Structure 1
Amino acid sequence: MNSYKRTGTTSLFSESYRLEKLSKQGDPLERLTKVVEWEYFRDTIEKVHQKKMVNAGPKPYDPLLMFKILILQRYYNLSDFQLEYQILDRLTFCRFLGLSLNDKVPDENTIWNFRDKLISKGIEQELFDKFSSLLEKHGLIAHQGKIIDASFVEAPRQRNSREKNTQIKEGTPPEEWNDQPNKRRQKDVDARWTKKNNQSYFGYKNHAKVDNVHKFIDTYATTDASVHDSQVLDTLLTEKDQGQDLWADSAYTGQEQENTIKKYKVKNKVHQKGCKNNPLTEVQKESNKEKSKTRARVEHVFGFMEQSMNKLYIRSIGIKRAIGFVGLVNLTYNLFRYEQVSRLDGITMSNWEM
């Protein structure tokens, strides 16, 4: 045995040695911690827990710790069980959360309950808006042009008969489910099927309006997957967009959409759409090609979610939780996008007036 290299012995410095090596290899969580002032979110996140009238019962975990756990969950797209296990197992997760190896870790039920309370109160939207306002205040949401697009959020596929799916679409779930509450709880009656490029999808959609300059998500909306992208245009646009260029693909064309664009007084940079009896001219094709150079920036946003954040896949049931899921996904994207911009431009929240 003495002829082999020694791997070391356990000591007070063993953990530090591992973390130092992980830092050199590049830990995205450590980079995020260096530029985000998490206390900025405390006032909002503490709304999850109502103040107790008595001191009986166990004390809850710090809501800021739980918030960071939810950011971890969305960045790595982990189930509650996987998340608990990974926090116990991974040094980088513990470092990000400020936990030592001797600290207790919230279990999967605690994580589920905290997230459910947060979503039921709409706090994910408050957190998103608060961070967006800060980005806007410091010029990172620049309002020099917006890009709109949507991405599927897939849900576990339901094995229902065609007849039952028809009933669900009509808003009347099968009566026999009323006598099977456990089965009813496992059925998502809000998610919908749709097809795109001959591929079927079941679930929801994340509709996003992205700022052209730094690619932050400015506004978003959640619908079931069957809602056409163009139907959410009026929801995404605001008075702040007035006078700005608006880029989008040809799915956002039509008289209703043109009226919406005029209503908000934005400059129409939407791709033109040809049809069988009225194909695009060469000039229109060239115009679309030029527009694509800017419009493609929104693909970087959804590409980051698909690759770095391990795809948009929801494990919960119902539109309410889907709205919360999408809100947390978009906030997580903006936080990590902020880290990228900070690294390139030398910006940190610690230098900002909050």
Structure 2
Amino acid sequence: MKQPGFFDVEERLSRLSGPGDQLEAFSRTVDFEVFRPDLEKALSYSDGSKGGRPPFDPVLMFRILVIQTLNNLSDERTEYLINDRLSFMRFPGLGLSGRVPDAKTVWLFRERLTQAGAIERLFDRFDATLRNAGYLPMSGQILDATLVAAPKQRNTNAEKEDIRAGQIPQDWQDKPSKLSHKDRHARWTLKFTKAKRQENGTIPSTDLAIPFFGYKSHISIDRKFRLIRKWKATDAAASDGARLREGLLDKTNMASTVWADTAYRSKANEDFMEKHGFVSKVHRKKPHLKPMPRHIQRSNAGKSVIRSRVEHVFADQKSQTGLFVRTVGITRATMRVGLANIVYNMRRFLLLERINAAA
């Protein structure tokens, strides 16, 4: 057997760089040091005067969360792959002989950020980086929401009634271990999807309604660069339209036009947008028990050409990063959705920089 050489690891890493390592491109394009002040403020680590093992560098740990989000990994799988893959080891700045964070350390780091509510500040910090790079929100904005699945709960009817009333079921109060595994914030809803063609070749006249359990990710993207500018996480049963008036609109966009589907069409939303200087391009609904007028059909079709761009964002998140909530509770779900939005903006930033370099 050939004896390992001194530079074997460097040669192997250079081979990984040749075909194009996405994580290495992240390191070249994204300045992760901009997150350090917010990370240190949220973590509130001690100064080490009392001794003990020093914590891992917060930026190193945040890079690990990026790896985890990019590949939709559990904490245990994240630990294994960092030890197994050279590219995963290189991205956070770890070496073959260095100490690697275990699954519990990754969980504790993410949990501390979650409880500190740091994800909004981290998202705003990177959004400021995008603006400084010249990617200002312009050409209007597009709003939409998508369902995010969570582990289904098996509860009795009485337990469901208590949860809907905002109460903890009596049987759970004396069982803290059981309570910690019960998601009291996720909700059931109906997901309407296109009906499948039948065996005889006909298509049913109504869409299929599929029960869905989990949360919902609401976003607002700018039309020009398709970057997420505003976002919010709610339970799956929350109304899409009501979120428009809860800070989902980006007032810094250089254009005042707003595109959205019929779920956002209401008198309250139209009055709100008019009051705050926004121009509504929200789809109009079909009149009840009447055919859709031709001029409204043409208008909605023109709006769909632009509005459909937001669907590409959700498709990217679900196909590339496998958007899914493994945790319990709206606070942790917000952390998961926020990380997915940051990572999407990083990937989009990488693409925009490549386009500019090629141009």
TM-score (norm 2): 0.90
Of 142, 157, 165, the match for 1:162: 157
Q: Tell me the residue number matched to 1:335.
A: 346
For 1:115, what is the secondary structure of its paired residue?
Answer: helix
- When residues 56 and 328 of structure 1 are mapped into structure 2, their CA distance, relative to the original with a 3 A threshold, is same
Structure 1 window deviating more from structure 2 (262-271 vs 8-17): it is: 8-17
User: Aligned pair count?
Assistant: 340
For 1:258-304, what per-residue CA distance to the aligned partner results, in whole angstroms no more than 9, with x for missing partners? 12221321111111110332432112111111111111111111111
Which structure 2 residues correspond to residues 147-226 of structure 1 after superposition, within 5 A? 147-197=142-192, 198-226=209-237
Q: Which residue number corresponds to residue 267 of structure 2?
A: 255
Is 1:58 the equivalent of 2:53? yes
After alignment, is 210-219 or 259-268 more displaced?
A: 259-268
User: Which amino acid in 1 is paired with 2:298?
Assistant: E
Contact 1:234 1:260 in 2 (8 A): yes
Partner in structure 1 of residue 320 of structure 2: 308
The answer (yes or no) to whether the contact 2:258–2:278 under 8 Å persists in 1 is: yes
Correspondence for 1:128: 123
* Counterparts of 2:254 and 2:32, CA distance in 1: 33
Identify the residue that residue 350 of structure 1 maps to in structure 2.
none
Task: Give 2:344's aligned amino acid.
Answer: Y
Match of 2:202 in 1: none
Does 2:112 align with 1:117?
yes
SS at match of 1:164: helix
Name the counterpart of 1:346: 357
1:92 corresponding residue in structure 2: 87
| Whole-angstrom distance in 2 between the partners of 1:23 and 1:53 | 38
Structure 1 residue 144: Cα displacement:
2.0
1:34 matches 2:46? no
Q: Give secondary structure in 2 for the equivalent of 1:240.
A: coil
Aligned to 2:241: 230
Stretch of structure 1 that moved more, 217-226 or 32-41: 32-41
- Give the CA RMSD over aligned residues: 1.8
Q: CA shift at 1:256, angstroms?
A: 1.6
- Residue-by-residue CA offset, 1:12-70 (whole Å, 9 max, x unaligned): 33333433333333321111111111222222212213333624111000001001111
Q: Distance in 1 between matches of 2:144 and 2:307?
A: 9
1:157 partner letter? K
Matched, 1:16 2:28: no
Matched, 1:103 2:98: yes
5+ long unaligned stretches in structure 2: 193-208
Partners of 1:62 and 1:230 in 2: how far apart? 41
Q: 1:49 aligns to what? A: 44
Contact residue 149 and residue 212 of structure 2 kept, 8 A: yes
Q: What stretches of structure 1 of length at least 5 have no aligned partner?
A: 1-5, 348-354
Q: Which amino acid in the other structure matches residue 84 of structure 1?
A: E
Distance in 2 between the 1:185 and 1:261 partners?
A: 41
Provide the rounded CA distance (Å) in 1 between the counterparts of 2:315 and 2:59.
28
CA distance in 1 between counterparts of 2:63 and 2:47 reads: 23
- Please state whether the residue corresponding to 1:59 is helix, strand or coil: coil
Query: Which whole-Å CA distance do the structure 1 matches of 2:240 and 2:287 have between them?
Result: 19
* Letter of the structure 2 residue corresponding to residue 344 of structure 1: I
Give the superposition deviation at 1:239.
3.2
Q: Which residue of 2 aligns with 1:352?
A: none
- Cα deviation, 1:243-262, whole Å, max 9, x if unaligned, reads 51111111111112212221
SS at match of 1:25: coil
Structure 1 CA distance for aligned equivalents of residues 18 and 88 of structure 2: 16
Matched, 1:287 2:281: no
